[in-house]
Amino acid sequence: MGEEYLLLGDIPLDFQKVLMRAFVPYSVGLARVSQDDPKLFTALGSGTLVRKGTHIGVLSAQHCLTACSPRIRVGPSGKDSLLLILRDARGVQLPPEDLIEHKLVSPLSVEYGPDLVFVEIAPSERLAGILAVASVWSLDRDPNEILKQFGGVGSMIASLGIPEELCRTRLNGNAFHRSSFHLTVSHVIEDESITVRDGWDYIDNKCVYPKSSALPQSFAGFSGGGIWSVQVQRSKNTGKLSTGKAALVGASFYETPIENNIRYVRGHFIRSIYDLAWRNFERSQR
């Protein structure tokens, strides 16, 4: 086909925009809008639109819903609407009755969680509106096949999220204006990137901070965002770069401090997001 696959070091920085366009249709920002005070806006984090069986919703980090005070309450007795920030600065506000929070895990620590949540979106005109402009990734896939094809050492990784440091919220009378930025950060899976603790698998993505780094000093707001493994190829005829096959391989939830100009953004990896996290969910559906 006249194509060659590239390593991370061979990819120009401006190709980040191409990666962002490839995965931002699946990416969402999460924010709370209180029904008691519509002007009360709280940024929560990031997430990925996913499908599990017949259920469609947002896969995110559980602490995105529980770390704020008071914690997020959705469902028939809830008082919080969720604002989903989609591609191209689109926003869809979902009332609490349109949402079901599925507690997938019971976190044991901040550093390792496990820290995942699935917020299901009930069928409605609002969901139809979301599906008209966004994409949904199916989690009904064999994690062994995903691991074999996309989880090996040397695989290129693109992490997406909406760090609050790069966003702005401005009140305008009884409404607010939100400027959000979907950040894409590239990594590569190294020998020490993948670890397993108590059956849960994790990926630590390295972020290097040179003097001219455009990386945010804080990844707050990035939590819950998707981690994608992607093949990048270059045409031998034209030299043009393009994305090849790709798969969702994780969800970010924790950042380490910066030490010696390096920090790591930790996420749950393939077996956790495709299998382990859903065992409680599947039992609850029986």
pLDDT for 272 equals 97
pLDDT for 271 equals 97
pLDDT for 80 equals 87
**pLDDT tens by residue, 134-170:** 999 999 999 999 999 999 998 888 898 887 766 566 6
Kindly tell me if the per-residue pLDDT of 7 is higher than 50: no
- Give this prediction's pTM: 0.88
**Mean pLDDT for the chain?**
84
Q: Yes or no: say if 227 and 251 are a contact pair by the CB < 8 Å rule.
A: yes
Rounded to whole angstroms, the Cα distance separating 230 from 284 reads: 33
**pLDDT tens by residue, 16-32:** 677 778 888 999 999 88
Domain of 86, in residue numbers: 3-284
CA 178 to the chain's CA centroid: 19
CA 37 to the chain's CA centroid: 28
Cα 27–Cα 39–Cα 222 angle in degrees, nearest 5: 25
Q: Which of 16-30, 96-110, 256-270 has the lowest mean pLDDT?
A: 16-30
pLDDT for 270 equals 98
Kindly tell me if the per-residue pLDDT of 233 is higher than 90: no
Asked if the bond preceding 143 is cis, omega within 30° of 0, the reply is: no
pLDDT for 178 equals 59
**pLDDT tens by residue, 120-140:** 999 999 999 999 999 999 999
pLDDT for 5 equals 44
**pLDDT tens by residue, 182-223:** 777 888 899 999 999 999 999 999 888 775 567 777 777 789
Q: Which residue has the higher pLDDT, 150 or 33?
A: 150
Mean pLDDT of 65-74: 86
The structural domain count of the chain equals: 1
Kindly tell me if the per-residue pLDDT of 63 is higher than 60: yes
pLDDT for 8 equals 47
